[in-house]
Structure 1
Amino acid sequence: MIRVAVADDQPLFCAGLQMMIESQSDLAFVGAAADGRQAVELARSQRPEVILMDIRMPVMDGIAATRAIRGESPSECPRIVVLTTFDRDEAVASALRAGADGFLLKDATPDFILAAIRTVHEGNSVIAPKSTSELLRTLARRRPEAIEPLSVREKEVFLLAARGLSNAEIGRTAFISEATVKSHIRSILAKLGITSRVQLVAFAYENGLVR
């Protein structure tokens, strides 16, 4: 069973997510929080494996809550998917920087939300089906020095990954094995201080390295 929690200050929306989660045989609803501070406390007490986190909440917003949860126990941290109303909400990029594993629009279909929960639980990232590149492009500023710590080969792999290529596709393009790609990706994430492929994409757009 995948333990799922919800953090949202809209009771009706939260109740709808609870009903949807409880209708699934492989998901277990473990609690709800009405603000970011409660979300941090819920993460401590109930140990959810996935949290659906609203960005805009009272007391502490979803970005600060995500950062706090990530900071407490990075190795045992739940997967966090932030929820937003607008697909060009600049706060989404901040949430990705804070450690979120992806984002969904609040008008996403139930099937897409359920699939997203299972996807992030498996260790992958998830993004709203609309154009993420348009959202992140609004924040772009050309900063090639941002990837200066990377080797020449790592820079090549970084740019290919930032364009959304899979490990297999990167390997074919760069003429290296998929295992080597995985090794480069791990090194890139460590050197840049980021933790996921979706953060890598956000990092690339925010620094104007992909257009």
Structure 2
Amino acid sequence: MTSRILIVDDQAEIRAGIKAMLRLDPGLVVAADLSDGLQVVPYLRENPVDLVLMDIRMPGIDGVEATRRIRKEHPPEKLRVIVLTTFDQDDIVLAALRAGANGFLSKTVSPAELVAGINEVVGGGGALSAAATAALIGHMTDSPPPVIDQELLRRFDALTPRERDVVILVASGLGNDEIAAQMSVSPFTVKTHAVRAMTKVGARDRAQLVSFTFRAGLYP
């Protein structure tokens, strides 16, 4: 199955580098690359794609606003968005999540990590690299919500003790393999618990699950 990718970044060398990395997977086809966030929505109206790789900082409008505009016309289940960032401003990462991004990857990821992240998000999951998790955790713990979101907290009450344990470990920045080793279960079991937890709390992906966990006051 082929996935069509739109690359959005104001730096030509970055766009060229991403295209080169995506050649590792013949199932990933670069439909186009754009240099300006303002071009994204008009392009998508005429050219359907499966996923947008979005730079966080661009002229015209930034990646947060571009993602917000995408979501006005394209729901997350129809079009996926991964934000590429250096994670030096955690509040911007969080803003992109709230705007509707499905995942976050650092611009320094390896080609294999980029391909794996794209395939995970296209398949309905959420890419959340270690750097992304650290950024979210850093922002949340430095600036905890002044008021616990009681509605979100009630959703977490529906989790089983095992699902809750997995969620807390996910929010602490651990990957499936690390959680599996800590809990003495298989990575598949961890993923199953995480997916069930996302369904119960209404999180569209792993990135939003981390955000919901902190907003509900459930700090690791």
- After TM superposition, is the score higher than 0.5? yes
Question: 139, 145, 167: which one pairs with 2:143?
Answer: 139
Counterpart for residue 152 of structure 1:
157
Counterpart for residue 188 of structure 1:
201
Unpaired runs of at least 5, structure 2: 186-190
Instruction: Please give the alpha-carbon distance, in whole angstroms, between the structure 2 residues aligned to 1:145 and 1:111.
Output: 37
Give the CA deviation at 1:72.
0.9
Instruction: Please give the alpha-carbon distance, in whole angstroms, between the structure 2 residues aligned to 1:49 and 1:124.
Output: 13
Corresponding pairs, count: 200
Counterpart for residue 218 of structure 2:
209
Instruction: Please give the alpha-carbon distance, in whole angstroms, between the structure 2 residues aligned to 1:207 and 1:83.
Output: 26
Q: CA RMSD in A?
A: 3.1
Give the CA deviation at 1:10.
0.8
Instruction: Please give the alpha-carbon distance, in whole angstroms, between the structure 2 residues aligned to 1:119 and 1:27.
Output: 12
Secondary structure of the equivalent of 2:87?
coil
| Bigger Cα displacement from structure 2, 26-35 vs 122-131 | 122-131
Give the CA deviation at 1:151.
7.1
Instruction: Please give the alpha-carbon distance, in whole angstroms, between the structure 1 residues aligned to 2:44 and 2:72.
Output: 12
Instruction: Please give the alpha-carbon distance, in whole angstroms, between the structure 2 residues aligned to 1:182 and 1:128.
Output: 17
Instruction: Please give the alpha-carbon distance, in whole angstroms, between the structure 2 residues aligned to 1:182 and 1:111.
Output: 24
Give the CA deviation at 1:160.
4.8
Give the CA deviation at 1:42.
2.6
Q: 1:81-120 counterparts in 2 under 5 A?
A: 81-86=82-87, 89-120=90-121
Counterpart for residue 121 of structure 1:
122
Matching residue's letter, 1:122: G
Counterpart for residue 8 of structure 2:
7
Instruction: Please give the alpha-carbon distance, in whole angstroms, between the structure 2 residues aligned to 1:151 and 1:23.
Output: 39
Q: Structure 1's 81 and 107: CA in aligned 2 closer, same or farther, altered over 3 A?
A: same
- Scaled by the length of structure 1, the TM-score of the pair is 0.78
Asked if residue 33 in structure 1 is aligned to residue 37 in structure 2, the reply is no
Matching residue's letter, 2:157: V
Q: Structure 1's 164 and 109: CA in aligned 2 closer, same or farther, altered over 3 A?
A: same
> Quick one: percent identity of the two aligned structures?
31
- Contact 1:142–1:207 at 8 Å: present in 2 too? no
Counterpart for residue 163 of structure 1:
169
Matching residue's letter, 2:147: R
Unpaired runs of at least 5, structure 1: 173-177
Instruction: Please give the alpha-carbon distance, in whole angstroms, between the structure 2 residues aligned to 1:88 and 1:119.
Output: 25
Instruction: Please give the alpha-carbon distance, in whole angstroms, between the structure 2 residues aligned to 1:181 and 1:15.
Output: 35
Q: Structure 1's 208 and 16: CA in aligned 2 closer, same or farther, altered over 3 A?
A: same
Counterpart for residue 207 of structure 2:
198
Q: Deviations over 1:115-174 (max 9, x none)?
A: 1111111111111223342344233225334325537334965675253287x989x9xx
Counterpart for residue 188 of structure 2:
none
Asked if residue 18 in structure 1 is aligned to residue 19 in structure 2, the reply is yes
